[in-house]
Chains A and B, each alone.
Chain A
Amino acid sequence: DAKTTQPNSMESNEEEPVHLPCNHSTISGTDYIHWYRQLPSQGPEYVIHGLTSNVNNRMASLAIAEDRKSSTLILHRATLRDAAVYYCILRDDYNQGGKLIFGQGTELSVKP
């Protein structure tokens, strides 16, 4: 499984944008980039995923570098509820079923 590298922790102010980086220099051509987050005392929840193009949904945006060796999860206006551990995960969506390999993730704290 390809490895991802994320900062251990980041801080943000409420209502400001947050950019969470992820490096994945050994990504293969069939790997999708997924982001999950885990709020305190809850199971992880899906945030967003993409392959090559940038993606947007109601929760966040995913910016993928042209060489796909890095990506950035963007929260456009952080709220206190966004304080969580964010995981960047690579997976071959066509061959891995439901399997997710979690790294250490980035713990995001949001200050009021």
Chain B
Amino acid sequence: KAGVTQTPRYLIKTRGQQVTLSCSPISGHRSVSWYQQTPGQGLQFLFEYFSETQRNKGNFPGRFSGRQFSNSRSEMNVSTLELGDSALYLCASGSGGGGGYNEQFFGPGTRLTVL
């Protein structure tokens, strides 16, 4: 079974631009979560989508948004990029059903550099 894939793997943008990152979950998984990882703040939860609806949300400004498609693929968008948005963005997928724990499988991440 193929793992979680993220595209692109590396991205360089300039301040003020916007960026869209993509995540394809493991086949059959309906939950997709996004995380930001920086040396200073560590791993921080951005949001989670389940069956095309945002189910959980972290404490990030509205410049960070996401969506999930009917095939469970997810995109994350960051508008008006700031230098501090430079980070590794990780996507995780899980089966997502209620009633208990669903192991989260992480992708390799997208390294975003904002100049």
Contacts and interface: CB of A to CB of B under 8 A. Distances in A.
Given A43-B106, A44-B92, A44-B106, 16 more contacts: A42-B108, A43-B4, A43-B90, A43-B107, A43-B108, A44-B43, A93-B101, A96-B56, A97-B48, A97-B96, A98-B32, A98-B92, A98-B102, A99-B33, A100-B104, A102-B44
Interface in A45-102: 45-46, 49, 87, 93-94, 96-102
A45 B105 CA distance: 6
Given A43-B108, A43-B109, A97 B56 contact: yes
Interface size class of A (residues with CB under 8 A): 20 to 34
Contacts, number: 71
B99 A104 contact: no
Contacts of B94: 98
Q: Is the interface of A mostly helix, strand, loop or mixed?
A: loop
Nearest to B103: A46
Given A43-B107, A98-B56, A93 B100 contact: yes
Contacts of A42: 106, 108
Interface size class of B (residues with CB under 8 A): 20 to 34
Given A98-B31, A98-B92, A104-B42, A45 B98 contact: no
B45 A99 contact: yes
B33 A100 contact: yes
Interface in B27-43: 31-33, 35, 42-43
A101 to B, nearest CB: 6
A10 to B, nearest CB: 17
B114 to A, nearest CB: 20
A97 B50 contact: yes
A100 B99 contact: no
Given A43-B90, A104-B42, A98 B104 contact: yes
A42 B31 CA distance: 20
Contacts of A105: 42
Nearest to B97: A97
A60 B4 CA distance: 24
